[in-house]
Amino acid sequence: MKNIFIYLLISTTFYSCSLTVDCNEIKYVDGVSYYNGEKFSGNCSSYYLNGNFRSKQSYIDGLDNGNWTFYYSNKNLKTEAFFKNGKRIGQWKYYAKNGKLWKANSYDSLGNPVGYWETYDTLQKNVVVKIDSIL
């Protein structure tokens, strides 16, 4: 009987951690995200009215964490991003509605902007039209 209780407890814990909820149900207050009044850990997804996928976001203990992706209503990728403990990390990519890369920004392991932030011509592939040096 004790083994069954432990199994149920572990199963419930894993199930609740892997639960994906509607991102519209997540409440953002003072830098922390809540679901049903508690700091949210897990994934959320959202959809456009036409049923197309809009976003997938991930949280740990109320903080943005992991890979985030956003899409336009035409199903083209809009944004690729990564968070760690609420901080922007690595390269973030933004795309135009036509699917071409529009911007690329970088962040260090502490979430500080770094490197060269590039803006691309969205009518031509991989043509940089602006570079901002971030110190």
Average pLDDT (78-84) is 98
Is it the case that residue 92 has pLDDT exceeding 90?
Answer: yes
Distances (CA, A) of 43 to 8, 22, 31, 61, 113: 22, 9, 17, 12, 26
- CATH of residue 98's domain is 3.90.930
> In Å, how far from its chain's centre is CA 56?
6
pLDDT at 22 over 50: yes
pLDDT at residue 10 above 90?
no
Confidence of residue 124 (pLDDT cuts 50, 70, 90): confident
pLDDT at 77 over 90: yes
Task: Quickly tell me which residue has 């959320």 as its tokens.
Answer: 44
Q: Is 9 helix (H, G, I), strand (E, B) or coil?
A: helix
Residue 130 clears pLDDT 50, i.e. is over it = yes
pLDDT confidence band for 7 (50 / 70 / 90): very low
Q: What is the count of structural domains for the chain? A: 1
Q: What is the pLDDT averaged over residues 39-56?
A: 97
Per-residue pLDDT, averaged over 29-33, amounts to 96
Domain span at residue 56 reads 2-134
Q: Determine which of 49-53, 61-65, 72-76, 125-129 has the lowest per-residue pLDDT on average.
A: 125-129
